[in-house]
Chain A
Amino acid sequence: MSSVPKRGAEAPLQNPPPILEVRNLRIEFPTRRGTLVAVNGISFAIAPGEVLGVVGESGAGKSLTGTAIIGLLEPPGRIAAGEILLEGERIDQLKGEQMRRIRGRRIGAIFQDPLTSLNPLYTVGNQLVETIRTHIAVDAAEARARAIALLREVGIPAPEARIDHYPHQFSGGMRQRVVIALALCAEPRLIIADEPTTALDVSIQAQIIQLLKRLARERGTAVMLITHDMGVIAETADRVAVLYAGRVAEIGPVREVVRNARHPYTAGLMGAIPKIGAGAGKHSSRLVQIEGSMPRLTSMPAGCAFHPRCTKCFERCTLERPEPRPVGPNLAACWLYE
């Protein structure tokens, strides 16, 4: 536990070396009417045992970044530029079979809907054993023992009996635990969790979040947690990347981003989140609203993509695109800090 970076502390990027490093990732969709750039130069890194939260509104490119990392980008979408490095090794150019060996073995994935992530025709045990034996050379009995241990670890009561049940016999929260067990089967170094709690009720959300966090700590796994729910991020992540229109608006330690946002978009986003505070009750506080909505890919504004909605916009914002630059402990892509 002692080697794991503390919550909220800036994780050193060089020491230990990051598990995942994304450099200037650009994802394009060629269409008849021109090329749409859905992700435009995103860079970040995740250290061992660290949870990086990736937030943004729909269409910001957060899920697309996740699918690009696990190599499941649907054509015609393609990685047009940039690099993805897993433990220092480039994986963005690997072809089908090579990538398949990494997926599941070194990168685990957890998706939003636990029902569609499991095969309804096989018992949970079958699916776990199959995944374990695909990636690790063990016999069937050993694999089953491992599967039971995993189910116990993710908090499923009576795993010896539950292992022979089918997915429909589990409730939503329990199913998501099974999906997490499945992602952990081969002891991956990186877990990509795309909205893992969005389909769950609040009371179950807390259980799943704590589970993810504990597993990352104990196993030194890097976690990329993609969600639109800032509350989930605030409780789970060590660092946060805020995406807007396919770019990183701000990235930094969770505490700094939530409490002391540098980028006007992040600040607006934080103010827009309803909170249960001291002044609960109607009309106690108007929510901060950001006028307008995120630009469509077909009509991306010049300069900073946020400038048409920004209250602090000045001339340079409309002309030149800002790159993320250090502002305090964060990196913020905003000309205000030039």
Chain B
Amino acid sequence: MNSGALLRVEDVGRDFDVSRPWLDRVIERAPRQLLHAVDGVSFEVRRGETLALVGESGCGKSTLARLIVGLYAPSRGRIEFDGTVISDPANHAQTAPLRRRMQMIFQDPYASLNPRWRVREVVAEPIRVLGLLSSDAAIDGRVAELLKQVGLSPDDGDKYPHEFSGGQRQRISIARALSGQPDFLVCDEPTSALDVSVQAQILNLMSDLQAQLGLTYLFISHNLAVVSHVADRIGVMYLGRLVEIADAQDLFARPKHPYTRMLLDAVPDLEMSGRQRTPVAGEVPNPLAPPSGCAFHPRCPHANERCARERPALAWQGGGAAACHAVEEKRI
């Protein structure tokens, strides 16, 4: 397997203008207000691996997913797919064939399937749009094959989405994503709307498909336990920034960044080892007014004056990187 980077994200940022209306601003002499949803994030996804991005709500992980698949344009930075820059809208002619190779699976299988279309049409749409097959018979055959691949019956193609349960709908979403023959899938919380027993089915299916088809996944989730079952490498985000990235095993065995440690501590303990959860003081700050320096410093037990002043950069050390002054200074 080629171990090179399939996707490279370099210093990408995305701002949203959340200012009040123009007239209000003029009257109140209020400045424009920008929300930095993603703020200078860099990482790469290697061919055939699963990179997971985790973080709490509002950390920018879903925005990042949308930037990568092109649903949003980045405000800064660049995104490369298979060696070509895809983040520049002027480049559209060259990037269109590359875009076909990435697909997205969304969180809510109730909202992401058109209720008026039969499942067959839902799954066939990418095939028709991308012109992969022309004859109806060939398309029907391919759809039947895809439905079987995700564990549904070919006859299910004649039904409508409402006739399926949440887990089956997510299978339909996966079949649709696969119908364009992508090699890269961006999965935004694909199982968080599902019950645990169904979540297990979908996670197992996704790892089978990855092995069969050699897919590369960017897997976005807030649930560290889910991520530990699917990811090769894990990136942890906080307030729009990547604070740590490491191999999955390393991250769970030796988390570096204090925020990662906190997240791991907060995972409910099913083993009931009697471990005391250390509840963290405070909550995620308002992203409109992020703290100075390291965004985590007001909640961090290891913060000092430098953390409040200076924003830490991702520093590589071995196979992983953390953006933390305390780690860099070997204080923790």
Chain A residues close to B by CB (< 8 Å):
57-58, 171-174, 201-207, 209-210, 228-232, 234-235, 254-255, 258-259, 268-277, 280-291, 293-294
Contact = CB atoms under 8 A, between A and B. Distances in A.
B269 A234 contact: yes
Contacts of A173: 283
Contact of B270 (A174, A207, A273): A273
B204 A287 contact: yes
A234 B271 CA distance: 8
Nearest to A291: B201
Given A209-B268, A273-B200, 15 more contacts: A201-B222, A201-B284, A202-B56, A203-B279, A206-B268, A228-B196, A231-B267, A234-B268, A234-B270, A235-B268, A271-B200, A274-B203, A274-B229, A287-B229, A288-B200
A58 B195 contact: yes
Given A276-B267, A280-B248, A282-B231, A258 B272 contact: yes
A198 to B, nearest CB: 11
Given A203-B280, A206-B266, A280-B228, A272 B271 contact: no
Nearest to A204: B283
B248 A282 contact: yes
A136 B166 CA distance: 46
A290 B197 contact: yes
B203 A203 contact: no
B252 interface: yes
A287 B249 contact: no
Interface in B185-216: 195-201, 203-204, 207
Contacts of A281: 228, 231-232, 248-249, 252
Contacts of B200: 271-274, 287-290
B201 A202 contact: no
A112 to B, nearest CB: 14
Contacts of A58: 166, 195
A202 B267 contact: yes
A58 B110 CA distance: 15
A206 B279 contact: yes
Interface centre among A173, A274, A276 (most CB of B within 10 A): A274
B263 interface: yes
A199 B167 CA distance: 21
6 contacts: A201-B222, A206-B279, A272-B197, A273-B225, A275-B225, A282-B50
B165 interface: yes
Interface in B253-281: 253, 262-272, 277-280
Contact of A202 (B195, B249, B266): B266
B222 A283 contact: no
Contacts of A171: 283
Nearest to A57: B195
Interface string B157-168: 000000001111
B102 interface: no
A270 B200 CA distance: 11
B226 interface: yes
A275 B280 contact: no
Given A201-B222, A203-B266, A290-B197, A235 B167 contact: no
Contacts of B50: 282
B304 interface: no
B223 interface: yes
B57 interface: yes
A269 B283 contact: no
A23 to B, nearest CB: 28
A7 to B, nearest CB: 9
For the complex of A and B, list the 3 residue pairs with the smallest distance between their C-beta atoms, beginning with the closest. A231-B268, A57-B195, A272-B200
A172 to B, nearest CB: 8
Nearest to A293: B165
Contacts of B207: 282-283, 286
Nearest to B207: A283
Contact of A269 (B197, B204, B262, B284): B197
B267 A210 contact: no
B172 interface: no
A282 B229 contact: yes
B243 interface: no
B230 interface: yes
A205 B224 CA distance: 14
Contact of A293 (B198, B222, B231, B271): B198
A224 B112 CA distance: 35
Contacts of B165: 293
Contacts of A282: 50, 207, 229-232, 248
Nearest to A272: B200
B222 to A, nearest CB: 7
Contact of A276 (B198, B230, B252): B252
Contacts of A210: 277, 279
A280 B233 CA distance: 11
Interface string B111-148: 00000000000000000000000000000000000000
A275 B196 CA distance: 12
